[in-house]
Structure 1
Amino acid sequence: MTLTDYFVYSDQAQEERPLYLFDPKFANKVPQLGQDYEVPVYFNEDLFSVLGDERPDYRWIIIGPAGSG
């Protein structure tokens, strides 16, 4: 499904639980979005930084219509 097709779907979705997009690697795929990402001030202390390459995903892009998750 293309992104355009998804947006058409999401505009017309009537399901109780419509599909949503979730991507924890968005910043690698679209660097401009990664540059626009900013950690909220309440979460500035990065406790996972000690894990190096084993660090879990810490930022995501989630897109969906109302009721989608």
Structure 2
Amino acid sequence: PKKTENLLVAGRCFCFEDKLVEDTRIIGTCLVTGQGAGAAAGLAVKERVKARDLNISKLKQLLKDQGAWLG
């Protein structure tokens, strides 16, 4: 949201293309979005930045270090 800071969503409450509808119904998809949101929140606190200002490379590396599936 444009006027809301540090709001992260996970699970089935995200935007996607029509052709991906079936993929979003899989529990694993919900799990990885939850892990991503949690990691992003923790990293934002650690780095003292807004979630939208996170260094995406650092977030990806953190998720890789955690063994997250990144596609």
Is this a same-fold pair by TM over 0.5? Answer: no
Indicate the TM-score class for this superposition, using the shorter chain for normalisation. under 0.3
Question: Which structure shows the higher helix fraction?
Answer: 2
**Radius of gyration: which is bigger?**
1
TM-score under structure 2 length normalisation: 0.22
Question: Which structure shows the higher strand fraction?
Answer: 1
TM-score under structure 1 length normalisation: 0.23
Higher relative contact order (CA 8 A, sep 6+): 1
